[in-house]
Structures are given as C-alpha cells and as structure tokens.
Amino acid sequence: MPSRRFRWPAAALFCTLLCTIALIADAAPQPVPDTLTQRLLACATCHARVDARGNPVNDSFYPRIGGKPAGYLYHQLRNFQNGRRHYPVMTYLTEHLPDAYLREIAAHFAAQAPTVLPPTPVNLSPAQRDRGRQLVHEGDQTRGIPACIACHGARLTGVQPAIPGLLGLPRDYINAQFGAWRNGVRRAHAPDCMGQVAARLSPDDVAAVSGWLAAQSMPADPRPADAVPRPLPILCGSAP
C-alpha cells in the first residue's frame, strides 16, 4: 500500500489536469454568427473612427462611409469592381461579389448614422480661403465650374440617392480624388461630371477647395438632403 505522502502529488496532478481541460474548453473558439454586420466588420479597419477592436483608424486618407447615400456607395463598389476606380484592395474585395450583395452592403452602411467629425485645422492664406469659399458656394462661371453646393447640397452633406457629402472628408483624400479624376484613374458613368470639373480646376484651386472644405464644421445633423434643384448645372451620369 503506497504511503500517504505519494497520494497528495497525484491528487494535485489530477486537479491540475482538470483545471487545464477547463481552461482549454473556455478558450475554445466560439461560433461566429454569419450575419451581414459580422461580415462587414472588416470594413471598419479603414472606414470607421475605430476598428472592430476599438483602435483608432487612420483619419488622413480613408473616408467614413456610414450614412452616405446608398446609391452612391453602390456605384463606388461597382466602379471598383469594373475598373472605373483603381485601388487594389477594393478591387480585390469586390471583384467576385454579385450585384445583389453589393446593394446589400451599400444599404447596410447607408442605414448607419453619419459620423460627425471635427474640422481639421488648415493653414490657408486669406486669398486661398476666399477662393475655396467662392468655388464651393458660387463656382467660377468664366471657366464653366459649377458651385459645389449646386450638386452636393446647400449643407454639403450630400443628396439622396447618389450624391455624396463633402464635409468631414480628410483633405488628403479630397486632393487624391481630384488627382485621380484629372489623371483618369477615377471615372464615373458618362457623362463624367466630376471628371470635367476636375479638369477645369487648377492645382491651386484644388488646394483651396480641399483646404476650405476640411476646415468646415459639420452640421449637427449631417444626413444627406432629400433633393436639390433640378436640372443640375452640369450633366452627370451617376446622378441623372
């Protein structure tokens, strides 16, 4: 018969094994719900204020997409898919998705409350500020440049169903999109109104517009407007 001094180590070992098994069971991966919300958490890596883990997301380039018009979001997904917009990550993510699923994704984000973002301090000269405000609110008729508010709404928060808002966008993002339109890297359904506008703006005009927009405060209710006066000042294939 074994002595009592050998029973305690055996009992301790047995308890340790039981605890280890319990910990492994608790740590076993839990089933992930197969919902649209769960699938689209990955989009927060770039397009939300914080990602799925609550970490801040880079605000310098990626736009926030929550609350944008569903038609606009759908068209952009299609544009990445069809090569009218070029960004390898977005092309990879969308190239094999069916059209109905793209519409679901667009509707999902359009239903979210828009994010109210603080303005970005921008070092503009008085002349640059005046030029930016002029182009946004009045345009430049001598060069065939319509006012931004004529299409994007008086509050610049976009218009249903397919015109995006311009406030709350990073200045670098606005500059990059104007550059993409000027270089033909970004296109839209013909007639490509923004392609025409970008071609008529000088680099100084682009800097003035992007700086002025980035420095503006968003309204407390940044939802897109229901409509703007028609016809639009320029033919636009993506917002007929």
Would you say 19 is a known binding-site residue?
A: no
Would you say 96 is a known binding-site residue?
A: no
Distance from C-alpha of 168 to C-alpha of 157, rounded to nearest angstrom: 9
Would you say 151 is a known binding-site residue?
A: yes
Cβ(62)–Cβ(51) under 8 Å? Answer: no
Instruction: Encode burial over 64-91: b for 16+ CB neighbours within 10 A, e otherwise.
Output: bbbbbbbbbbbbbbbbbbeebbeeeebe
- The vertex-125 CA angle with 120 and 128, nearest 5°, equals 85
Distance from C-alpha of 219 to C-alpha of 155, rounded to nearest angstrom: 8
Cβ(178)–Cβ(206) under 8 Å? Answer: yes
DSSP, collapsed to helix, strand or coil, labels residue 195 as helix
CA-based R_g, the chain, Å: 26
Would you say 152 is a known binding-site residue?
A: yes
Would you say 148 is a known binding-site residue?
A: yes
Q: Which positions make up the binding site?
A: 43, 46-47, 90, 148, 151-152, 194
Q: Which positions make up the binding site for heme c?
A: 43, 46-47, 90, 148, 151-152, 194
